[in-house]
Structure 1
Amino acid sequence: MSSRTAARIAVLMGGRSAEREVSLVSGRECAAALREEGYEVIEVDAGPDLASVLISEKPDVAFNALHGRWGEDGCVQGLLEWLRIPYTHSGVLASALAMDKARAKEVFAAAGLPVAEGRLCCKAEVRSSHPIAPPYVVKPVNEGSSVGVYLVQECANGPALIADDMPERLLVEQYIPGRELTTAVMGGRAMAVTDIIADGWYDYHAKYSAGGSRHVVPAEIPEEITAACLDYALRAHDALGCRGVSRTDFRWDESRGLSGLYLLETNTQPGMTPTSLAPEQAAARGMSFGDLVRWMVEDASCDR
């Protein structure tokens, strides 16, 4: 589908997850770019009436700019399948698998990809004692954007002092020191490797606050590590059954060479502003933000 068909695009954004504000930014940027490409665009803040809004508006394609629970965990994908509205990004199963960090780790390990050691724990266990030897990371099983992530240092006197609103199921993983790398996959091709440089822990603040981090793309790393990131990201994308654009994050302990590279997770709904990581990698390959969102609309589908 192209802009010449004057397609009507519903950009889904906002929602009710912990990543609502990030999604609104992504959605507005995508909506503006799609209008520039000649599409008729409806901006939809996804709420409980989403199905009735979509039935009323009759879009040709849903551009999914939602982040977090309900938007990238298979829920809205199932609704769009039911309504037979083609949509961007991954389908129901891939979205659900990628959002469940524990299940995704099992898929990655079965595909021979390097993942950090870890285990599922209940909240009470994490609060009462060290579930594994520190340093380690505690994170919700089904959130993104580093929401609710705790780093327990090696010198910690006690377990993580996690907030009361943390979910009951938590993933505890070995902390991998070193550099934060990421690779986006688009249409079955890994695009580039970005080195994410932050002053300290790459948490929610570092991701979304002005000056919280900077991106070096392509990353200035050994060719062996670049090749491995590109290979692992594509294999992770395929193992989960993703389509469209995904982004896979890594930690690399450079003192250990290739054996120090670990796959953290795959994001099926990566941030979508012109300065977000996946669009930056597309730009590095000569693709404008408008070109990228147009490609995503043309790639939209159901049933795959």
Structure 2
Amino acid sequence: MSGPLTVAILAGGLTHEREVSLHSGRRLAAVLSEAGMHVKVLDVDANLLQSLKSMQPDVVWPLIHGSTGEDGSLQSLLELVGVPYVGTPPAACRIASDKAVAGAVLSTAGLNVPDSVTIPQKLFREVGVGQVLDLIKARFDFPLVVKPAQGGSALGVTIVASAAGLPRAMVDCFAYDERARVEQYIEGAEVAVSVVQTGSEPRALPPVEIAADGPYDYDARYFAGRAEYFVPARLSEEDTAAVKEAAERAHLVLGLRYLSRTDIILDDAGRAWILDVNVAPGMTETSLFPQAATADALESDTTVDDLYVEILNAALTDRQ
């Protein structure tokens, strides 16, 4: 289409990650505005549908992190509105956002996923907390990981060093989700691989290696000084190819669209273990997708703006 795009960025919402979402939305709006687009950040509230009707954007970029923004709910609403949007269709969102379901799908496809079990809080109460915890202790070696079955930003995630820390980790997890995922701890290099797909095949951007001072938790992700990032990651060509391939395959297997980010642990044997797949990557200053996009632009002698425009145009073209 001729002329600058009009883009509505959806940010905020009522999830635990509201502040991160607002920060992502404001930062992306600044980048797109600098690129000459007409941009407005809209909150997901009672005024959203009227705001979209008044604005009549060419395309919507949802940046709601957490449940309603990544579980297909918001995407279903945008499908009803009939507006083109950046991101994965509702059905694939529902699969990817549920760590238990996504893990099963990826494992069936032959990708490496940590051994895990997901148990609802209700079942814990009905069967008996002590008995279930005993079963977990017998099944998994320590350390292990306890995380919400849905959600991001490492909220409610605990690396449990010993059996004594398991009860508190479960309580913390249930504050963010009704289901707890207990997962095998994988030791190795922590890498995030962003993927862009504006044509028939996905393309992995340069991997980002995370070296955190302690666990890569919420504070380490969004407050400067707790984590150091290496872009591209300090990996051999072979290991770089392995993590890129894993992320691209995960993107395809889960049916994702336009962009995604896969969190990976690369162990000492060179195996890429998929921890999580994100359908709405963050866009803050410390977020991993923008870092990868910047490195990709340097490698290809383009700009980050070019990549974002490419993503927006793909979403717009697909609906014409």
Query: Scaled by the length of structure 2, what TM-score is found?
Result: 0.87
- The more displaced of 106-115 and 29-38 is 29-38
User: 1:127 Cα shift?
Assistant: 5.2
1:185 aligned onto 2:195? yes
| Aligned CA distance change for structure 1 residues 291 and 276 (closer, same or farther; 3 Å) | farther
SS at match of 1:116: coil
| Aligned pairs (5 A) from 1:189-204 | 189-204=203-218
* Equivalent in the alignment of 1:83: 81
- The more displaced of 88-97 and 16-25 is 88-97
1:279 aligned onto 2:290? yes
1:298 aligned onto 2:320? no
| Structure 1: distance between partners of 2:239 and 2:251 | 18
Q: Out of 250, 257, 260, which is 1:236 matched to?
A: 250
| Aligned CA distance change for structure 1 residues 179 and 127 (closer, same or farther; 3 Å) | farther
1:169 aligned onto 2:179? yes
Q: What are structure 1's unaligned runs of at least 5 residues?
A: none
1:140 aligned onto 2:133? no
SS at match of 2:167: coil
SS at match of 1:115: coil
| Aligned CA distance change for structure 1 residues 15 and 110 (closer, same or farther; 3 Å) | same
Contact 1:152 1:160 in 2 (8 A): no
| Structure 2: distance between partners of 1:48 and 1:148 | 28
| Structure 2: distance between partners of 1:113 and 1:251 | 12
User: 1:258 Cα shift?
Assistant: 2.1
Q: What are structure 2's unaligned runs of at least 5 residues?
A: none
**Corresponding letter in the other structure for 1:138:** V
| Structure 2: distance between partners of 1:182 and 1:213 | 13
Contact 2:243 2:266 in 1 (8 A): no
| Structure 1: distance between partners of 2:51 and 2:180 | 35
| Structure 2: distance between partners of 1:219 and 1:35 | 30
**Corresponding letter in the other structure for 1:78:** S
Identity across the alignment (%): 40
The count of corresponding residues between Structure 1 and Structure 2 is 298
1:67 aligned onto 2:65? yes
Contact 2:156 2:175 in 1 (8 A): no
| Structure 2: distance between partners of 1:99 and 1:171 | 13
| Structure 1: distance between partners of 2:62 and 2:218 | 21
* Equivalent in the alignment of 1:264: 275
SS at match of 1:146: coil
* Equivalent in the alignment of 2:15: 17
Which of the pair has the greater relative contact order for Cα pairs under 8 Å at 6+ separation? 1
* Equivalent in the alignment of 2:164: 157
Query: Residue by residue, what CA displacement relative to the aligned partner does 1:270-296 show, whole Å, maximum 9, x if unpaired?
Result: 111354211211221224332232222
| Structure 2: distance between partners of 1:211 and 1:292 | 28
| Aligned CA distance change for structure 1 residues 7 and 157 (closer, same or farther; 3 Å) | closer
| Structure 1: distance between partners of 2:165 and 2:43 | 42
SS at match of 2:53: helix
| Aligned CA distance change for structure 1 residues 66 and 205 (closer, same or farther; 3 Å) | same
Give the aligned CA root-mean-square deviation in angstroms. Answer: 2.0
